[in-house]
Every structure is written in structure tokens, then in C-alpha cells.
Amino acid sequence: MINSSLKTLSQMLAKKEISSVEMTQTFLNRIHQFNPTINAYIALDEAKTLAQAKAADARIAAGNAEPLTGIPFAQKDIFCAKGWRTTCGSKMLENFIAPYDAHVISQFDNAGAVNLGKTNMDEFAMGSSNETSYFGGVKNPWNFDRVPGGSSGGSAAAVAARLCAAATGTDTGGSIRQPASLCGFTGLKPTYGLVSRYGMIAFASSLDQAGPMAKSAEDCAMMLNVMAGFDERDSTSLNHPKEDYTRGLAGMSGDKPLKGLKIGLPKEYFADGLDAGVAKVVQDAIVEYRKLGAETVEISLPNTKLSIPVYYVLAPAEASSNLSRYDGVRYGHRAAEYTDLTDMYCKSRAEGFGAEVKRRILIGTYVLSAGYYDAYYLKAQQIRHLIADDFKQAFKECDIIMGPTAPSTAFRAGEKADDPVAMYLQDVYTIATNLAGLPGMSIPAGFDKGLPVGLQLMGNYFDEARMLDVAHAYQQVTDWHLQMPDLKAPEGLK
């Protein structure tokens, strides 16, 4: 059951082969067994979880079930969930009990889904390895010496280790897709504005976007049906008509389902810096796509390399402003001893934030400070325009863009922890879509030396349905997405 698709789980519940309480308990048992080692969840509340499962069973019995009713999901700890401890991976919010629900949480609640718990993450979503979490690192279920990626590292490990049916994540520069690549599952970052940011703790507001992290494209489509939609409480929520993201999936089997599809391969994504083993897996996946009837064409995204410097101006600038709310006055950490108000702010913030968060606040403060605004912030916004234009040009020549998600497979814990610049380069292939606001996806495409490799799909604005179809077509003829780590093998597990 743990490796079943959401559709199968939904059917099992509908046919009363299993109750939601039983299904939820199965995942809770796995969490008890493996979470002490993996550290994917940082908040569990079984009473709440099982109450939701019971309510779901009643709803199913009453005949009011929706596709996700009764299915247990993990929620990234960036989403406020009423009555749940919501920390965003930070000491600053260690004792913060959210007084309201994020839009994403309400959407899952309304659909009758069960919340298994809150997952570990890099502090305030700033990181690519989950090592900046105040609550400790997360182990990659494929190899416990390796990181799961980040910032949605807890959700990633929970999906990969089958400690949930699926999970939510957020992606500001690659935080859904890079962990999806490193842990071997399917993750989608939607078009900016498609999923409401209400109640999602802000990092860089013009880039943050929530999305599904699941076993397959089909699972992601079912989750996006629930997550997407206009919300007036988010000023950047887009009033885009409701879509059924599963509508095209059935047409993706049979001979050459992708005939007529033009796949763009950006030459900059296959240049220096890409690990040879990863390149091989990605090339093989592209060969598979040609067999499915797709055509490939070389394209160019000339400003790819600049996306990292641009991001490390814009994201910290927005973060320094967003995180100014943590002042120790109304909620969050307040220093135990202080002399005056300024001292209270300075001490509370110095104690509540970890090293990476402080670094980004400092960079953001610097690039926004008097005299430097034009040279850094404005310049970065101008290059952001060039990066978005690169994609506009590219989509004149192709329907979808493919390449690697991350330059390497999962690296060792500690390997890059002390070198922020090396860590930042992890996101070289994912950041540009955030800057342009485009949807991006990572799907499992194989393994290199026993570690998963992701293939990235990038689509045009609001082209999620097509991306999911294209991913689904590949998952009909391959089984990389069904592979899961053998968690009994490593020593040290109960």
C-alpha cells in the first residue's frame, strides 16, 4: 500500500477495502519506525491526525468523498496550520502555535485529506541541503550519509521513504525540484501566483510558490487540483480559471503519445559544471522521449549563469524585509535579558536566527542600503527581465524545455555546509524559472552510483497540464518513479 498511487489509495478507500484510520495508522507506524533516524517530521500530533482520519471515514461513508478524502499527507512546516506548532525550521518560531490556517492547509482540509504532521526544512527555506534547520539535518532515504536536498528536505525524505502518501513543499529557487531530484520522486513548482501564499511563511515573496511533492505526475496533478485556485487574501494570487490537471493523462498511453511535441534542450544546461553521471541519465531520458514521438531542438538560455547572482541579490533583499517582522514583540523568540528596545530587537534576532538566515538578511540589508540600491537591486531586476526574455524567445522554438534538475546527485552531509557559494550553485538549473515565474518540474530519470537523478521539465506560463501529461507519458514507459529505497538494509534502524 505504501507505494500505491493516490488514485489507487482513493479507490481503496472508496471500495472500503481499508479505512482512512487504518491507512493513516500504517503511515504513522512507519513514521515511528523510521523518523527517529531520518528526521523528516518535526511536529506530530496523532490525536489531531486520527481525528481527521475518522472524520474522513465518516465523509466517505456519507458518500461525500472527494478524490483526496482520507489520504494522509505531510505538510512542510512553512505552512501555518491552526493549532499546530509551525516553526519554519527556526528557533525563532520554536514555540509558535499557528493561530490560523494557510490557504494550502485549508484546501487540503476542505478536500478531506489527513495531515500526518509538519516536515523539517532549511530554516526559513534558506538552504539546499536541509542542514540549516534548527531541528537538525534530514537523512536521504537512499543513503543516510547524504543530504535530501532542500529547502523542502523533510517533505522530500518523507515522500522517498514512503512516510506519507505525498507531501507539500515550497520552491523559491528550487526547493521542491532539487530535493525531488536528490531523493528520486516527482515534484512540481507551479506558475507564480497559481497557488495562494496566504499563511505560507514568507521568504522572497516575488519568487515563493507552493507545489506538490509526490510519487508520480498523476499524483501531482491530483494534488494541484486541490492546491491551485484564486485566493483574494494573497495580493499576487492570479485569477486563473480552475483547471482539471488530470484531464490529459489518459491520452498519454499507446504508440507515440507525444508526436508533435517539441522539446527544447538548452545548451547552457549541458555545459561545464554538470556531473557526467547525471548528464548520462538525463540524455538517456531524452532518448526515451524521442521514442515517445517527441522532437528535440537545441535552444539557448544565454543568461542562465547570471540567475545565481541575480537571485542572491533579489531573494535576500526580499527576505531582509520579510524577516524584519521577527522582532520579539508579538510572537516568536524574545531574548531573556535586554537593556532597551533596540537591544531587545538585536538580541532576540541574533539568538532566534541561524547563521545562513543572518547571512541572507545581511546581504539583503546591504544591497538595499543607501548608495548601493542601483548597483545591486535595480541591476538584478534588470537582468531578471533578460532572463525572463530568454524563456520567451525559447518558447517560440519549443513547447517544453528539458534538462538536468541539479548538477549532481545527493552530496554528503557537511560537504558544502561551510561554503555558501558552493551550496548556492546547487540551484543553477532551477533558479531561472523562479525569476521568470514559470512552472518547473523534476521527475525521476534513473540512478548514478545508486543515487537518484532527476530530469527537469520547464513549461510556459500556466502550462502545468501539458507538463504533467509529458511527465506522465514517460512514467507510463519507465518505472524509475516506482523505485523506493530499501529501508530495512541500513544499520541503526529499529
- Residues 142-181 interacting with other proteins (rule: CB under 8 A): none
Nearer to other proteins, 8 or 369 (CB): 369
Residue 103 makes contact with other proteins by CB under 8 A: no
Instruction: State in angstroms the smallest separation of the CB of 414 from other proteins.
Output: 16
**β-bridge partners, 212:** 168
- 295, 334, 447, 484: which one binds other proteins (CB under 8 A): 334
- Contacts (Cβ under 8 Å, ≥6 apart) of 298: 264, 265, 266, 267
Size of the site for other proteins (CB under 8 A): 78
* Residues 227/195, Cβ–Cβ less than 8 Å: yes
Q: Is there binding between residue 378 and other proteins (CB under 8 A)? A: yes
Q: Which residue of the set 5, 106, 133, 175 is catalytic?
A: 175
- Residue 311-330 contact track with other proteins, rule CB under 8 A, x = bound: -xx------x---x--xxxx
Q: Residue 441 and residue 211: Cα distance in Å, rounded?
A: 10
Rule CB under 8 A: is residue 333 a binding residue for other proteins? Answer: yes
Q: Say whether residue 383 binds other proteins (CB under 8 A).
A: yes
Question: What is the closest distance, in whole angstroms, from the C-beta atom of residue 427 to other proteins in the complex?
Answer: 12
| Contact assessment for residue 264 and residue 295, using Cβ atoms and an 8 Å cutoff | no
CB nearer other proteins, residue 102 or residue 455: 102
> Closer CB to other proteins, residue 265 or residue 361?
361
Q: Tell me the closest approach of the beta carbon of residue 362 to other proteins, in angstroms.
A: 5
Of positions 341, 477, 482, 493, contacts other proteins by CB under 8 A: 341
- Residues between 433 and 492 with contacts to other proteins, criterion CB under 8 A: 435-438, 461
CA distance 21 to 418: 44
Angle between helices 46-61 and 6-14 (to 10 degrees): 60
Query: Taking the complex as a whole, how short is the minimal distance between the CB of residue 138 and other proteins, in angstroms?
Result: 23
Of 19, 129, 133, 151, the catalytic one is: 151
Q: Is 381 among the residues that bind other proteins (CB under 8 A)?
A: yes
With contact defined as beta carbons under 8 Å apart, do 71 and 1 qualify? no
Residue 369 in the binding site for other proteins (CB under 8 A): yes
User: Rounded to an integer, what distance in angstroms lies between the CA atom of residue 225 and that of residue 267?
Assistant: 33
Contact call for residues 183 and 148 (beta carbons, < 8 A): yes
Question: Among candidates 266, 191, 179, which has minimal Cα distance to 224?
Answer: 191
- Which of 5, 10, 19, 76 is labelled catalytic? 76
User: Which of 58, 250, 297, 362 touches other proteins (CB under 8 A)?
Assistant: 362
Grid coordinates representing 420? 555558501
Confirm whether 267 is a catalytic residue.
no
**Do the Cβ atoms of 40 and 138 come closer than 8 Å?**
yes
Contact between 45 and other proteins per CB under 8 A? no
Is 76 annotated as catalytic?
yes
CB 234 within 8 A of CB 198: yes
Smallest separation, CB 458 to other proteins (Å): 13
What Å distances lie between residue 386 and 110, 383, 460, CA to CA?
Answer: 40, 5, 16
Decide if residue 353 touches other proteins (CB under 8 A): yes
Contacting other proteins within 407-436 (CB under 8 A): 419-421, 424, 435-436
DSSP of 391-439: HHHHTTT-SEEEEESSSSSPPBTTSSTT-HHHHHGGGTTTHHHHHHT--
Q: Which of residues 193-212 bind other proteins (CB under 8 A)?
A: 193, 206
**Can residue 272 be called a binding residue for other proteins (CB under 8 A)?**
no
3-state secondary structure 311-369: HHHHHHHHHHHHHHHCCCCCCCCCCCCCCCHHHHHHHHHHHHCCHHHHHHHHHHHHHHC
- State in angstroms the smallest separation of the CB of 173 from other proteins: 14
Other Cβ atoms closer than 10 A to 195: 29
Query: Which residues ranging from 287 to 306 are in contact with other proteins (CB under 8 A)?
Result: 303, 305-306
Can residue 309 be called a binding residue for other proteins (CB under 8 A)? Answer: yes
Closest CB to other proteins among residues 306, 445:
306
Q: Rounded to whole angstroms, how far apart are CA atoms 157 and 180? A: 9
CB atoms within 10 A of CB 450: 10
By the rule CB under 8 A, 386 interacts with other proteins: yes
The verdict on whether 4 is a catalytic residue reads: no
Nearer to other proteins among residue 299 and residue 417 (C-beta): 417
Q: Does 308 bind other proteins (CB under 8 A)?
A: yes
- Cα distance between residue 65 and residue 2, in whole Å: 21
- E strand or H helix that includes residue 451: strand 451-458
Interface with other proteins (CB under 8 A), residue from 51, 58, 61, 97: 97
Could you say which of 96, 185, 198, 269 contacts other proteins (CB under 8 A)?
96
> Cβ closer to other proteins: 118 or 384?
384
By CB under 8 A, tell whether 380 contacts other proteins.
Answer: yes
Q: Within positions 220 to 249, which residues make up the interface with other proteins, using CB under 8 A?
A: 232, 235-236, 238
Among residues 327 and 415, whose Cβ is nearest to other proteins?
327
**Catalytic residue set:** 76, 151, 175
